[in-house]
Amino acid sequence: MRDVTSFDWRKKLTKEDRKAMKGYRRGATRQAVPLFRAADFTDPQKKLFRWLESQRTRKSDPTPKHRRALKVGPKAKDAHEPRVYGRDFCPLIPEGKFYGAALGSFGPSPESGWTLYGTATNPTATGGGHAAGLISIMGYPYPPGRADSTRHETVRKILEDFRVVVVETLAGLVAAKWEGRWISLEDAKVLPEDVKVRKLKWLFFLPVDFAGRVKEFLEAHHAERFEKGETPFLWKIQETETAPKLPTPTAENSGAAEEAVVKAL
Protein backbone atom coordinates (compact mmCIF):
# COMPACT_ATOMS: atom_id res chain seq x y z
CA MET A 1 0.00 0.00 0.00
CA ARG A 2 1.35 3.44 -0.96
CA ASP A 3 1.15 6.60 1.17
CA VAL A 4 -0.30 9.61 -0.63
CA THR A 5 0.07 13.16 0.70
CA SER A 6 -2.17 15.96 -0.55
CA PHE A 7 -1.00 19.55 0.01
CA ASP A 8 -3.50 22.41 0.18
CA TRP A 9 -1.46 25.08 -1.63
CA ARG A 10 -4.44 27.44 -1.85
CA LYS A 11 -5.07 27.73 1.87
CA LYS A 12 -6.00 31.27 2.89
CA LEU A 13 -3.45 32.41 5.45
CA THR A 14 -4.67 34.15 8.57
CA LYS A 15 -3.09 37.31 9.94
CA GLU A 16 -1.26 35.16 12.52
CA ASP A 17 -0.01 32.79 9.80
CA ARG A 18 1.45 35.64 7.77
CA LYS A 19 3.04 37.21 10.83
CA ALA A 20 4.73 33.92 11.69
CA MET A 21 6.17 33.61 8.17
CA LYS A 22 8.96 36.17 7.97
CA GLY A 23 9.32 37.55 4.47
CA TYR A 24 5.94 36.15 3.34
CA ARG A 25 5.23 36.65 -0.38
CA ARG A 26 2.46 35.24 -2.49
CA GLY A 27 4.06 33.29 -5.28
CA ALA A 28 4.30 30.33 -7.59
CA THR A 29 6.21 28.10 -5.21
CA ARG A 30 4.02 25.08 -5.90
CA GLN A 31 5.06 25.26 -9.57
CA ALA A 32 8.76 25.81 -8.94
CA VAL A 33 9.88 22.16 -9.06
CA PRO A 34 8.31 21.33 -12.46
CA LEU A 35 9.60 24.69 -13.73
CA PHE A 36 13.16 23.85 -12.67
CA ARG A 37 12.95 20.60 -14.61
CA ALA A 38 11.35 22.14 -17.68
CA ALA A 39 13.82 25.04 -17.83
CA ASP A 40 16.76 22.78 -16.91
CA PHE A 41 17.94 25.24 -14.26
CA THR A 42 21.32 24.84 -12.62
CA ASP A 43 21.52 25.03 -8.82
CA PRO A 44 22.48 28.74 -8.84
CA GLN A 45 19.60 29.47 -11.22
CA LYS A 46 17.19 27.68 -8.89
CA LYS A 47 18.47 29.79 -6.00
CA LEU A 48 18.05 32.95 -8.04
CA PHE A 49 14.47 32.03 -8.92
CA ARG A 50 13.58 31.26 -5.30
CA TRP A 51 15.20 34.48 -4.16
CA LEU A 52 13.41 36.60 -6.77
CA GLU A 53 10.12 35.00 -5.82
CA SER A 54 10.67 35.85 -2.15
CA GLN A 55 11.89 39.41 -2.80
CA ARG A 56 9.16 40.71 -5.09
CA THR A 57 8.29 44.30 -4.26
CA ARG A 58 4.79 44.65 -2.80
CA LYS A 59 2.48 47.63 -2.71
CA SER A 60 3.02 47.91 1.04
CA ASP A 61 6.84 47.91 0.81
CA PRO A 62 8.81 51.12 1.45
CA THR A 63 9.27 53.72 -1.30
CA PRO A 64 11.52 56.75 -1.71
CA LYS A 65 10.03 60.01 -0.47
CA HIS A 66 8.99 61.20 -3.94
CA ARG A 67 7.02 57.96 -4.52
CA ARG A 68 5.22 57.67 -1.20
CA ALA A 69 1.82 58.05 -2.85
CA LEU A 70 2.31 54.57 -4.32
CA LYS A 71 2.68 52.86 -0.95
CA VAL A 72 -0.39 51.32 0.69
CA GLY A 73 -0.79 50.42 4.35
CA PRO A 74 0.10 46.92 5.59
CA LYS A 75 -3.57 46.20 6.32
CA ALA A 76 -4.83 47.21 2.88
CA LYS A 77 -6.56 44.49 0.87
CA ASP A 78 -3.95 44.77 -1.87
CA ALA A 79 -0.97 45.15 0.48
CA HIS A 80 0.61 41.90 -0.74
CA GLU A 81 -0.03 42.55 -4.43
CA PRO A 82 2.96 43.46 -6.64
CA ARG A 83 3.80 47.11 -7.16
CA VAL A 84 3.72 47.91 -10.87
CA TYR A 85 6.58 49.66 -12.70
CA GLY A 86 6.68 51.28 -16.11
CA ARG A 87 8.86 53.52 -18.24
CA ASP A 88 8.35 56.42 -15.82
CA PHE A 89 10.47 54.48 -13.29
CA CYS A 90 13.04 52.90 -15.63
CA PRO A 91 13.70 54.23 -19.17
CA LEU A 92 14.79 50.75 -20.28
CA ILE A 93 11.21 49.50 -19.93
CA PRO A 94 9.46 49.74 -23.35
CA GLU A 95 6.69 52.30 -23.70
CA GLY A 96 3.36 50.82 -22.64
CA LYS A 97 4.98 47.83 -20.90
CA PHE A 98 4.54 47.23 -17.17
CA TYR A 99 6.29 44.87 -14.78
CA GLY A 100 6.34 43.78 -11.19
CA ALA A 101 9.83 43.82 -9.69
CA ALA A 102 12.32 42.70 -7.07
CA LEU A 103 14.02 45.99 -6.19
CA GLY A 104 14.74 45.73 -2.49
CA SER A 105 12.65 46.97 0.42
CA PHE A 106 15.42 48.42 2.56
CA GLY A 107 14.12 51.18 4.81
CA PRO A 108 16.90 53.73 4.18
CA SER A 109 17.11 53.14 0.40
CA PRO A 110 14.06 51.31 -0.98
CA GLU A 111 13.70 50.34 -4.65
CA SER A 112 17.44 50.82 -5.12
CA GLY A 113 18.44 47.32 -6.24
CA TRP A 114 21.11 44.83 -5.18
CA THR A 115 24.86 44.41 -5.54
CA LEU A 116 26.69 41.23 -6.49
CA TYR A 117 29.17 41.57 -3.67
CA GLY A 118 28.34 41.50 0.03
CA THR A 119 27.98 39.25 3.05
CA ALA A 120 24.84 39.19 5.18
CA THR A 121 25.18 40.57 8.70
CA ASN A 122 22.71 40.76 11.56
CA PRO A 123 21.42 44.06 12.97
CA THR A 124 23.25 45.47 15.98
CA ALA A 125 22.32 47.91 18.74
CA THR A 126 23.83 50.75 16.72
CA GLY A 127 22.68 49.91 13.21
CA GLY A 128 20.86 47.61 10.85
CA GLY A 129 22.23 44.50 9.23
CA HIS A 130 23.44 44.17 5.67
CA ALA A 131 21.80 42.03 2.99
CA ALA A 132 23.81 39.34 1.27
CA GLY A 133 25.07 40.04 -2.23
CA LEU A 134 23.86 37.96 -5.15
CA ILE A 135 27.15 36.07 -5.41
CA SER A 136 26.52 34.71 -1.92
CA ILE A 137 22.78 34.17 -2.46
CA MET A 138 23.39 32.11 -5.60
CA GLY A 139 26.17 30.08 -3.97
CA TYR A 140 29.04 31.01 -6.27
CA PRO A 141 32.68 31.17 -5.15
CA TYR A 142 34.44 34.54 -5.18
CA PRO A 143 37.89 34.02 -3.67
CA PRO A 144 40.20 36.91 -2.73
CA GLY A 145 42.77 38.06 -5.25
CA ARG A 146 41.94 40.12 -8.32
CA ALA A 147 43.90 37.81 -10.59
CA ASP A 148 41.97 34.69 -9.63
CA SER A 149 40.25 33.39 -12.78
CA THR A 150 37.45 31.93 -10.64
CA ARG A 151 36.21 35.45 -9.90
CA HIS A 152 35.91 36.35 -13.59
CA GLU A 153 34.08 33.11 -14.39
CA THR A 154 31.69 33.61 -11.46
CA VAL A 155 30.67 37.06 -12.69
CA ARG A 156 30.22 35.79 -16.24
CA LYS A 157 28.01 32.92 -15.06
CA ILE A 158 25.89 35.15 -12.84
CA LEU A 159 25.08 37.59 -15.64
CA GLU A 160 24.18 34.64 -17.86
CA ASP A 161 21.96 33.28 -15.07
CA PHE A 162 20.20 36.67 -14.96
CA ARG A 163 19.44 36.31 -18.66
CA VAL A 164 18.25 32.71 -18.47
CA VAL A 165 16.03 33.08 -15.40
CA VAL A 166 14.68 36.63 -15.67
CA VAL A 167 14.66 37.35 -19.40
CA GLU A 168 14.31 33.96 -21.10
CA THR A 169 12.17 32.07 -18.59
CA LEU A 170 10.16 34.77 -16.82
CA ALA A 171 9.95 37.19 -19.79
CA GLY A 172 11.24 39.97 -17.55
CA LEU A 173 13.93 42.62 -17.79
CA VAL A 174 17.27 43.07 -16.01
CA ALA A 175 18.64 46.56 -15.51
CA ALA A 176 21.56 48.03 -13.62
CA LYS A 177 22.07 51.50 -12.20
CA TRP A 178 25.30 53.37 -11.50
CA GLU A 179 25.81 57.03 -10.67
CA GLY A 180 22.29 57.88 -11.82
CA ARG A 181 22.61 56.08 -15.18
CA TRP A 182 20.48 53.13 -16.25
CA ILE A 183 22.44 50.34 -17.95
CA SER A 184 21.11 47.31 -19.82
CA LEU A 185 22.29 43.80 -19.01
CA GLU A 186 24.18 43.59 -22.31
CA ASP A 187 25.91 46.94 -21.80
CA ALA A 188 26.81 46.01 -18.22
CA LYS A 189 28.73 42.95 -19.43
CA VAL A 190 31.54 45.07 -20.89
CA LEU A 191 32.11 47.16 -17.74
CA PRO A 192 35.13 46.48 -15.50
CA GLU A 193 34.60 43.58 -13.12
CA ASP A 194 34.94 45.71 -9.98
CA VAL A 195 32.16 47.98 -11.25
CA LYS A 196 29.86 45.04 -12.00
CA VAL A 197 30.49 43.44 -8.62
CA ARG A 198 30.66 46.39 -6.21
CA LYS A 199 29.27 49.50 -7.91
CA LEU A 200 26.30 48.46 -10.01
CA LYS A 201 22.90 48.08 -8.39
CA TRP A 202 20.97 45.34 -10.11
CA LEU A 203 17.20 45.68 -10.54
CA PHE A 204 14.94 42.85 -11.70
CA PHE A 205 11.64 43.56 -13.42
CA LEU A 206 9.33 40.56 -13.39
CA PRO A 207 5.90 39.74 -14.83
CA VAL A 208 3.10 41.29 -12.79
CA ASP A 209 1.34 37.91 -12.94
CA PHE A 210 4.35 35.92 -11.77
CA ALA A 211 2.49 32.63 -11.32
CA GLY A 212 0.72 33.13 -14.64
CA ARG A 213 4.04 33.42 -16.47
CA VAL A 214 5.34 30.23 -14.82
CA LYS A 215 2.15 28.45 -15.90
CA GLU A 216 2.54 29.78 -19.45
CA PHE A 217 6.15 28.60 -19.67
CA LEU A 218 5.33 25.12 -18.37
CA GLU A 219 2.39 24.59 -20.69
CA ALA A 220 4.38 25.78 -23.72
CA HIS A 221 7.29 23.51 -22.79
CA HIS A 222 5.10 20.43 -22.47
CA ALA A 223 3.16 21.29 -25.64
CA GLU A 224 6.47 21.27 -27.49
CA ARG A 225 7.41 17.92 -25.96
CA PHE A 226 3.98 16.54 -26.92
CA GLU A 227 4.46 17.67 -30.54
CA LYS A 228 7.83 15.88 -30.63
CA GLY A 229 6.27 12.69 -29.28
CA GLU A 230 8.32 12.86 -26.08
CA THR A 231 5.26 12.64 -23.82
CA PRO A 232 1.90 10.91 -24.37
CA PHE A 233 -0.20 13.72 -22.90
CA LEU A 234 -0.57 17.49 -22.77
CA TRP A 235 -0.23 19.45 -19.54
CA LYS A 236 -2.86 21.91 -18.40
CA ILE A 237 -2.23 23.71 -15.12
CA GLN A 238 -5.48 24.50 -13.39
CA GLU A 239 -5.77 26.82 -10.41
CA THR A 240 -7.93 25.29 -7.69
CA GLU A 241 -9.33 26.83 -4.53
CA THR A 242 -8.83 23.66 -2.55
CA ALA A 243 -6.55 20.69 -2.79
CA PRO A 244 -7.86 17.99 -5.14
CA LYS A 245 -9.36 14.89 -3.58
CA LEU A 246 -7.16 11.95 -4.40
CA PRO A 247 -8.53 8.42 -4.75
CA THR A 248 -7.76 6.04 -1.93
CA PRO A 249 -5.09 3.57 -3.11
CA THR A 250 -6.30 0.00 -3.35
CA ALA A 251 -4.78 -3.28 -4.38
CA GLU A 252 -6.52 -2.86 -7.76
CA ASN A 253 -5.33 0.65 -8.63
CA SER A 254 -1.96 0.92 -6.85
CA GLY A 255 -0.03 -0.26 -9.88
CA ALA A 256 -2.29 1.00 -12.65
CA ALA A 257 -0.72 3.00 -15.45
CA GLU A 258 -1.88 6.62 -15.75
CA GLU A 259 -3.62 7.50 -19.03
CA ALA A 260 -4.95 11.02 -18.42
CA VAL A 261 -4.46 13.50 -21.27
CA VAL A 262 -4.65 16.57 -19.06
CA LYS A 263 -2.55 17.19 -15.98
CA ALA A 264 -3.50 19.73 -13.31
CA LEU A 265 -1.35 21.31 -10.64
pLDDT recorded at residue 260 = 39
Total count of residues recorded for the chain? 265
- Which pLDDT belongs to residue 259? 36
Enumerate residues 6+ apart whose C-beta is below 8 A from 184: 92, 174, 175, 176
For the chain, 265 residues long, give each residue's pLDDT as a single digit of tens: 555 444 555 566 676 776 665 555 555 557 888 999 999 999 999 999 999 998 999 999 888 888 888 888 988 999 889 999 999 999 999 999 999 999 877 666 788 899 999 876 665 566 555 678 999 999 999 988 776 789 999 999 999 999 999 999 999 999 999 999 999 999 999 999 999 999 999 999 999 999 999 999 999 999 999 999 998 888 788 765 554 554 555 555 444 434 334 444 4
Specify whether the CB–CB gap between 131 and 143 falls below 8 A. no
* Positions of E strands within 74-214: 100-102, 173-178, 181-184, 201-206
Checking DSSP bridges between strand 181-184 and strand 173-178, what pairing results, if any? antiparallel
Q: What is the DSSP string of 218-242?
A: HHHHHHHHHHTTSSSSEE-----SS
Residue ranges per structural domain of the chain: 26-209
Q: What pTM did the predictor assign?
A: 0.79
Tell me what pLDDT residue 16 has.
74
- Kindly list the distances between the CA atom of residue 147 and the CA atoms of 52, 142, 143, 198, in Å, as whole numbers in the listed order: 31, 11, 10, 16
